[in-house]
Amino acid sequence: LPEQEAFDIEYWLLEEAKLQRMPKPKSLAGKVAFVTGGAGGIGRATAARLVGEGACVVFADIDQAALESTEADFVKKYGADAVRSVRLDVTREDAVIASFAEASVEFGGVDILVSNAGIASSAPIEVTELSTWNRNIDILATGYFLVSREAFRLFRRQALGGNIVFVASKNGLAASPNASAYCTAKAAEIHLARCLALEGADAGIRVNTVNPDAVLRGSKIWSGEWREQRAASSKIEVDELEEHYRKRSMLKLNVFPEDIAEAVYFLASDLSAKSTGNIINVDAGNVQSFTR
Ligand code: NAD
């Protein structure tokens, strides 16, 4: 190489190395995220991922005790300015409207909604009570509708675009035995997200879905009767469940709340700026639903 050219290359390599050592700005700095079910396993892990990227987070959950301890933990770790909590039942229209108004006043707006609050129930159709069916539809399908509607109203007023991520479920795509109410409500969430992606695109509002497969650790759903019911439906013992899910995955791995949080973060950030109406399945490659 001529002397000048060699010098230039060395110069640019040094400049690039310098840039790589510089602290990167946090990707969600200045953003506000509203996370429903924020005091549960996946919601909490998601909130931690978003706060870690510089976002302020509003935890919205029906479980007062879990909300208080989650808020206290986050305030200790990230400071009081980054965190608020609001007790919210996502099935109550007036409460949803009030909680968005409150978040908006507290933080001056909302940029990201993570709709994640949920329950799960399992029973064969012949013994599924109407009240159980309605509870699944109310919390999952209607709850996701109510918080999305409020986010849309706010996003349109703010005129800054917006971002919605649904935590739905693989069970919304693939049927699972003895869980018709839950699976149907989850399918409704997935389709709602697609409809909203279409409606929001002109205003720069993106709407995407993350479908977790079984996340046993940290989930309150899995600490209840769902655990026994899932084991019974798969004809295995409760303590075999994790291995069961691991074995049926292509990657032979279990899925954890942090794995879901990573996918939510991707969709909530500009990393996915050109994705809307899409689904990320976080299931380590579930062979069962892959082959259907
Ligand atoms: P979790 O029980 O730990 O968290 C759910 C949270 O939602 C809880 O804190 C609960 O108090 C809250 N909640 C329930 N009803 C509510 C209501 N009416 N209003 C407001 N908050 C309410 O469970 P998780 O595993 O973290 O589940 C989070 C989401 O992920 C749910 O939508 C669930 O269906 C979905 N999901 C979970 C799994 C899994 O295996 N854990 C798999 C697929 C999908």
Q: Is the CB of 88 under 6 A from ligand 1?
A: yes
Point out the ligand 1 atom lying closest to the alpha carbon of residue 66.
9
Q: Is the CB of 90 under 6 A from ligand 1?
A: yes
Sequence-separated contacts (24+) of 239-247 with Cβ below 8 Å: 241/214, 241/216, 242/216, 245/213, 245/214, 245/216, 246/284
- Across 15-19, 37-41, 184-188, least confident range: 15-19
pLDDT in tens, 103-155: 999 999 999 999 999 999 999 999 999 999 999 999 999 999 999 999 999 99
Distance from the CA of 221 to the center of ligand 1, in angstroms? 6
Q: Is the CB of 214 under 6 A from ligand 1?
A: yes
Q: Does 210 score more than 80 pLDDT?
A: yes
Tokens of 203: 């205003």
- The proportion of the chain whose per-residue pLDDT surpasses 90, expressed as a percent, equals 87
The pLDDT value recorded for residue 29 is 96
In this structure, the strands spanning 112-115 and 32-36 are parallel
The pLDDT value recorded for residue 104 is 94
Neighbours of 243 (CB within 10 A): 12
Q: Does 219 score more than 90 pLDDT?
A: yes
Residue of 219, 246, 248 to mutate, ligand 1, most atoms within 8 A of C-beta: 219
Tokens of 48: 């931690």
Catalytic residues: 182
Q: Is the CB of 61 under 6 A from ligand 1?
A: yes
**Amino acid code (one letter) for 110:** V
pTM of the model: 0.94
Point out the ligand 1 atom lying closest to the alpha carbon of residue 91.
18
Q: Does 292 score more than 60 pLDDT?
A: no
Closest C-alpha to 35, from 141, 117, 139: 117
Q: Is the CB of 116 under 6 A from ligand 1?
A: yes
- Across 6-20, 24-38, 160-174, 222-236, least confident range: 6-20
Q: How far apart are CA 125 and CA 4, in angstroms?
A: 78
- The proportion of the chain whose per-residue pLDDT surpasses 70, expressed as a percent, equals 99
The pLDDT value recorded for residue 6 is 83
